[in-house]
A and B are shown apart, each in its own frame.
Chain A
Amino acid sequence: RKEVEQDPGPFNVPEGATVAFNCTYSNSASQSFFWYRQDCRKEPKLLMSVYSSGNEDGRFTAQLNRASQYISLLIRDSKLSDSATYLCVVNIEPSNTGNQFYFGTGTSLTVIP
């Protein structure tokens, strides 16, 4: 079973739409959670950390549900520039091999004019 699972999409949405991505993780010892964004042929870049109480950054809202072991990302008022692959990342520390990050395979989003 994969540590982190995401729907690969693709999600094709019109400009201005609201879109939500979910991600599930298998290890209940997971401690830190993140969403990264990766543009085509570029490195992943941190979009936002996900806190237990949920957090918002402009049009982006992240939620964590520890009981069900999933995290979500909501994007409101989608812009063309939001088109990218969104990676769900889970951190487990300490583990028997030290600090470790687990990446989902990513969800592809295309915002259409």
Chain B
Amino acid sequence: GAGVSQSPSNKVTEKGKDVELRCDPISGHTALYWYRQSLGQGLEFLIYFQGNSAPDKSGLPSDRFSAERTGGSVSTLTIQRTQQEDSAVYLCASSLIGTGNYEQYFGPGTRLTVT
């Protein structure tokens, strides 16, 4: 079946511009996660959605970052007034919440470059 998809795959933007990143989770997956990964670094948690609500926004680095999820499916991560330190790969993952082990499945990521 279809996996997690993200768009765009690459985004180059000028400092100060706003960007919007999109994530399409696996159909039926109720949980959705955003992470970012800078070159050679580990994953940095940003935000988690359960359905359309976000119980944990603790990882958002600043108020320039926001995310929403509608219809329990697609999610968008918006970065306002981008800065060079925002350059990273933004990864989305989805998971089926239930009993027992449930794994996260990742999308291919959006590589953001702020010039």
Please give the residue numbers on chain A whose beta carbons come within 8 Å of chain B beta carbons, in ascending order.
32, 34, 42-46, 49, 51, 87, 89, 91, 93, 97-106
Residues of B within 8 A of A101 (CB): 33, 45, 95, 104
A49 touches B101 (CB 8 A): yes
How many B residues touch A, CB cutoff 8 Å?
25
- Which B residues are closer than 8 A to A by beta carbons? 31, 33, 35, 41-43, 45, 48, 50, 55-56, 58, 91, 95, 97, 100-109
Q: List 25 A-B contacts (CB under 8 A).
A: A32-B100, A32-B102, A34-B104, A42-B108, A43-B91, A43-B106, A43-B108, A43-B109, A44-B43, A44-B91, A45-B106, A49-B103, A51-B101, A97-B55, A97-B56, A98-B50, A98-B55, A99-B50, A100-B45, A101-B45, A103-B35, A103-B42, A105-B41, A105-B42, A106-B42
Nearest neighbor of A97 in chain B, beta-carbon distance: B56
Verify A100–B106 contact, CB threshold 8 A: no
Assuming the contacts A43-B91, A97-B56, A99-B50, asked whether A32 and B101 have C-beta atoms less than 8 A apart, the reply is: yes
Closest to B35 in A: A103
Contacts of A93 in B (CB 8 A): 97
Question: Which residues in B have their C-beta under 8 angstroms from that of A103?
Answer: 35, 42-43, 45
Going nearest first, the 3 A-B pairs with the smallest beta carbon separation are A105-B42, A98-B55, A97-B56
